Amino acid sequence: MTCKEAREYMLDVAQENAAARLDEHLRGCASCTQELRSMRQTMVLLDEWEAPEPSPYFDSRLRARLREAAAEPRSWLGWLRKPAIAFALALLMVVSITIFRNAPDHSDITKGPKPPVTIQTGTAVSDLQELEHDGDMYANFDMLDDLGTEAETANP
């Protein structure tokens, strides 16, 4: 057994009689024997020691001090000491920053109206715009009725 292993068991041994497995190591190691003797003396002193009794007015002074501490005004940051509120505030900040960073850029709105785009006829864009205009016209059935009467009057 090494000195390190022996020292792990010394506290148990200091409280009781020396264990058989440490006896052999303690016979050959003077430093461990001295340390065990010192531990036993410390245990004897601790067994004899008595804790001092508190003064007779200790409880009343403690209660008065606690009342004073409870009556003291708290700072406006005192609510941050509560973990649930602090966590909710941190979560709100993270969500706000995420929303702010992912928001679309509206800086072009302040620059004024954009110039109209000229579309050449015969292109795919112009064809799509004419189809959209025709779709709006066909969606209005009253307009189709008017077209039908105009065609009949033009071809007698």
| pLDDT tens-place string over residues 101-147 | 887 776 655 566 666 666 667 677 777 777 776 666 666 656 556 66
- The reply to whether 88 falls in a domain is no
**Which of helix, strand or coil describes residue 118?**
coil
- Domain count of the chain? 2
Q: How far apart are CA 10 and CA 39, in angstroms?
A: 8
Most confident of 7-21, 60-74, 118-132: 60-74
Amino acid at residue number 64: A
- The reply to whether 87 falls in a domain is no
Q: SS3 breakdown of the chain: % helix, strand, coil, rounded to 5?
A: 75, 0, 25
Q: What is the pLDDT of residue 92?
A: 94
Q: Pick the closest to residue 36 from 26, 45, 46, 27 (CA basis).
A: 26
Reported as a single tens digit per residue, the pLDDT across 71-97 is: 877 776 666 667 888 888 899 999 999
- The reply to whether 37 falls in a domain is yes
pTM of the model: 0.32
User: Which domain range does residue 16 map to?
Assistant: 3-48
- The reply to whether 98 falls in a domain is no
